[in-house]
Structure formats: C-alpha cells, structure tokens
C-alpha cells in the first residue's frame, strides 16, 4: 500500500454471522448497493486487502459480507469492530450540498456571528436527519441537527461548518441531553 493513500470508512464489522465466516457489517455509506459494486475492501487493522466473495442485505442498515480467506466463525470473530475502508478515489460523486461522514467529522463549528462552538466529534443517525455532536475545548457537548435551518454553510477548504443555531440550541442545559440520547441509541442498536 502507498503511504499517501487517503481512506474512507464505509462499514464496521459488528459480529460474525453463522459458522462459515460471514460478517455482519454496519453500513457507514448512504450509497445504495455500495458493497455490491465493490470487488475488494481493506481492513482497518493493517489495511489488508480482502476480496469480496458475497454480499447480501440483512436488517436495516446492516448487511452480511463474505470475504475471501475468512472461512469460519473464529476467523470472523477476530474481525469484530474492524472498520472496512476503500480509497477515497473510489468514492461515488455526491450531489451538491451532500457530504460523506469523514468530510463532516472534525470540522470546526462556528455561528454566523463568529462564535466558535467546538469540533464535530460524532455523528448520530436518527432516521429523519443526522445529529452532530459538537465538543467544546472544555469538553462540553452540544447536539446540532443536520438541517438546513441550522447548518448554513460547510467549507471543506477551511474545515469549518457555519451554523445559525435555533433558540436554546447552544444553552448549557442542552449539552446534558447528549449522554442520555447516546445511551438510548446504543441500547436500540444492541437490540437489533
């Protein structure tokens, strides 16, 4: 692998599936049939190249993936929590005003008035729209909905997201809600 290759995370292996080495993968791509058009993926542990042998839908935002060389449950288990990458050059072109998660993570968030809010440290998928978790320098967190009424401009060159916060969005009490909502989302994912 070339050291200067830039990578995009398109999925995370959440668990083995069955006894023949299939992998349950949580999708991190909004591109329909992303995996069915790929021939290879790279594993996050050491960027090992693996050929895709089979892929099929599972539940919701999850699919079942069979990789070359992963032929039993033990091999599959060793890949739990491993991210799946492709080179950035293989990403599909998005329509205007659409962004990949890796473009959004770590952006600096600034209000239209110039107030620096913090850095986007996590993206929570809610179904209707994403929610950005913005962490301040002091560790305080705010939830910013990814809607046009709030997110006014994303400048990838300057690595900044400009927002026009609704009343109450950046209040101190709002940040206390972040941990509760994140715990609720994780509980729902465990049920699946």
Give the 3-state secondary structure of residue 113.
Answer: coil
Phi, psi of 153 (to 5 degrees): -160, 140
Across the beta sheet with 130-135, the strand order is 141-145, 130-135, 116-125, 108-111, 160-163, 151-155
Task: Per-residue pLDDT tens, the chain, 192 aa: give them.
Answer: 445 678 888 889 999 999 999 999 988 766 657 788 889 999 987 889 999 999 998 988 889 999 999 999 999 999 999 999 988 888 777 777 778 787 898 999 999 999 999 999 998 877 788 899 999 999 999 999 999 999 999 998 899 999 999 888 887 544 444 555 555 555 565 555
- In the numeric block, which tokens belong to residue 64? 């079942």
The 8-class DSSP code of residue 135 comes to E
Domains of the chain plus CATH, in order, are 7-90 (2.40.30.60), 101-191 (2.30.30.240)
Phi, psi of 188 (to 5 degrees): -65, -40
pTM over 0.85: no
């Amino acid at each position: 692998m070339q050291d200067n290759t830039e990578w995009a995370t398109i999925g995370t292996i959440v668990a083995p599936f069955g006894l023949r080495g299939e992998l349950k993968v949580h999708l991190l791509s909004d591109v329909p049939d992303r995996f069915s058009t790929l021939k290879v993926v790279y594993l996050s542990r050491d960027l090992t190249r693996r050929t895709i042998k089979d892929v099929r839908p599972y539940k919701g935002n999850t699919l079942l993936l069979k990789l070359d060389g992963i032929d039993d449950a033990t091999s599959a288990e060793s890949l739990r929590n491993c991210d799946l990458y492709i080179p950035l050059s293989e990403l599909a072109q998005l329509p205007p005003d659409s962004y990949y998660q890796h473009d959004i993570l770590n952006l600096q968030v600034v209000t239209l008035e110039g107030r620096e809010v913090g850095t986007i440290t996590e993206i929570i998928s809610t179904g209707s729209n994403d929610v950005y978790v913005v962490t301040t320098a002091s560790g305080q967190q705010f939830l910013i909905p990814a809607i046009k009424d709030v997110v006014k401009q994303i400048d990838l060159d300057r690595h900044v997201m400009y927002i026009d916060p609704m009343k109450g969005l950046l209040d101190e009490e709002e940040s206390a809600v972040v941990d509760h909502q994140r715990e609720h989302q994780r509980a729902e994912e465990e049920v699946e």
